[in-house]
Amino acid sequence: MGELPLAPVDRILRSQGAKRVSEEAAKEFSEVLEEIAADLAAESAALAEHAGRKTVKGQDVRLASRKGF
């Protein structure tokens, strides 16, 4: 994985109160976010397919996020 740029990940951590963020922490956070995003994407796609659509809509993503994917 490792496709998320570290600068936005660093900003997310800092926006939530972190004073300093190590590169290792930013990389680990990025990997965890990507794992969560992949699970959410799979569940969103499954919901769209269940609804008879090929297109994933915002409502699919929102519903998938509520289900705890």
Answer whether residue 1 is part of any domain: no
Provide the CATH number for the domain around residue 52.
Answer: 1.10.20.10
Residue whose C-alpha is closest to residue 64's, from 49, 52, 8, 54:
49
Give the Cα separation of 48 and 55 in Å (integer): 6
Answer whether residue 18 is part of any domain: yes
Answer whether residue 16 is part of any domain: yes
Answer whether residue 37 is part of any domain: yes
Residue 39, domain extent = 6-67
| Tens digit of each residue's pLDDT, the chain (69 residues) | 568 999 999 999 999 999 999 999 999 999 999 999 999 999 999 999 999 999 999 999 999 999 876
Q: How many domains does the chain have?
A: 1
